[in-house]
Amino acid sequence: MNTSSITAESRALIADISRRPVMDIVRGTLFIGILLLVWISLRPFADLSGFYVADVVTGQDAFLYGLFGVLMVAMLVLTLRDHMPALKSLLTPAFVVFAGWICVTVVLSTDPATSLRRLALTVFVVVVTATLLLLPKSQDELMRWFGIAALVLLVTCYLGVFLAPQLSIHQATDAQEPALAGTWRGVFGHKNVAAAVMTMLIFLGIYLVRAGGWLSGIAVTALAAVFLLFTAGKSAIVLCVAVLLLTSLLPVIRSFWGRALLLLTPLVLLNLFSVGTVMSDTLAAIADKMPLDTSFTGRADIWSFAVESLRQRLWTGYGFEAFWGTSAIQNLQEGKEWAGYASHSHNGYLDTALGTGLPGLVLLIAAVVIKPLRDFQAADLGGNDAPLTMLFLRIWLFGLYLSSMESFFLDRADTIWVTFLIAVFGLHYLARFRMRAETP
């Protein structure tokens, strides 16, 4: 690639923007703005020296609720007229039954007010995310907007590291995890979140390159990869490599069941040798013989507490988002006081069961594990935009694996959850509709 091609690409971008009608600019601004709102949040570069979990689990940020409520209305206004078939296609049995069961758990919640309030924001965010991919009129627009948003995020993170390291690099003075001192977190509140987002951006950069955006694609991939290394996010790094390797085998394995076995077997193993070790002495004994930290950086204690709590409300759970940080956790035994300050169990599947019971967990698996894989199979066999389909598959698969060690499913406006949800909806649309290559 030479200088003239880069200059031509830049000139084409500027010329394209100058001749766009107002509504095209509105659509692009909304798409990029929503992505940056989700990725950077309203509270970037948090000062962790006085940070407490209770500050982020109350779910009472009225401005955030109002903002996403307004965005939901705006997105529906922009997409309802031209994309009604796409929106109607979301009424699949997997999505509808899962949503219905969540509403039931709100009614049966140990804290209905908290569940209802948190469900409201979740609904706003889900609707905004479901309509987000309907804004671009073509592959060309989608690629450009993704690239701009990713580069703005990366530049912001790097500026934070170099200009305000005390707010973008973990410090020994951090109130909760001083041992993380020196690891990069950028705009995010924790290096694990930064590592997860950077991994997803690597997948995005690879997509941009494959789709023809060489300049932006190489920049996004390189910047995200370097940042990922400095987060020291071991789980994210290992899972990034694993996802790239596994998905590279998909052109060879064409059958649905073969692909399911290839992609979902690691997911089962990850959960068996994580949460499973606190439920089965046999699995714990096997894990002890592996070169692993069998405490999983302290997660084993949290899993034990969560599993024991789940057994008390196995079929209904404690209510949607109504366990951690609520009155459901009380009368704690000596040595378990930390549970009152925990924000999640570090396992998305376990947290889903805590909130919605075993039926909710089964329905979650149907909606965000089985269905997206079927959607990928349909999109792939239909020859629908291979680079974009692979991008969404990689983000989705990484999210599934990461949820064995972290918890973000259904977590309102959580950065990883919304990015994962974009991939789920993206696979859904690509299985049913075709995107234009260029804007008409």
- The per-residue pLDDT for range 332-368, each reduced to its tens digit, is 665 555 555 567 788 999 999 999 999 999 999 999 9
Q: What is the pTM of this model?
A: 0.90
Q: Which of 53-57, 133-137, 322-326, 414-418 has the lowest mean pLDDT?
A: 53-57
**Band of the pLDDT at 8, cuts 50, 70, 90?**
low
Which pLDDT tens digit goes with each residue over 53-66?
A: 444 434 447 889 99
**Band of the pLDDT at 149, cuts 50, 70, 90?**
very high
Q: What's the chain's length in residues?
A: 440
Instruction: Please report, in angstroms and rounded to a whole number, the separation of the first and last CA atoms in the chain.
Output: 28
140, part of any domain: no
102, part of any domain: yes
Average pLDDT (158-176) is: 90
Q: Are 207 and 217 in contact (CB under 8 A)?
A: yes
Spatial distance between the Cα atoms of 194 and 31, rounded to a whole number of angstroms: 21
203, part of any domain: no
Residue numbers of the domain that contains 46: 28-135+234-430
pLDDT of 285: 81
**Band of the pLDDT at 9, cuts 50, 70, 90?**
low
174, part of any domain: no
Cα dihedral value 280, 283, 285, 290, nearest 10 = -150
373, part of any domain: yes
**Band of the pLDDT at 120, cuts 50, 70, 90?**
very high
pLDDT of 432: 92
Q: How many domains in the chain?
A: 1
13: pLDDT strictly greater than 60: no
Amino acid at 64: L
pLDDT of 282: 85
Residue 316 phi, psi dihedral angles, 5° rounding: -115, -15
* DSSP string across 166-211: HHHB--TT-SS-GGGTT-B-TTSSSHHHHHHHHHHHHHHHHHHHHT
212, part of any domain: no
144, part of any domain: no
* Comparison of pLDDT for 87 and 338, the residue scoring more: 87
Question: What's the maximum distance between 2 C-alpha atoms anywhere in the chain?
Answer: 69
pLDDT of 54: 43
Spatial distance between the Cα atoms of 135 and 254, rounded to a whole number of angstroms: 31
pLDDT of 55: 44
276: pLDDT strictly greater than 90: no
Spatial distance between the Cα atoms of 90 and 188, rounded to a whole number of angstroms: 31
302, part of any domain: yes
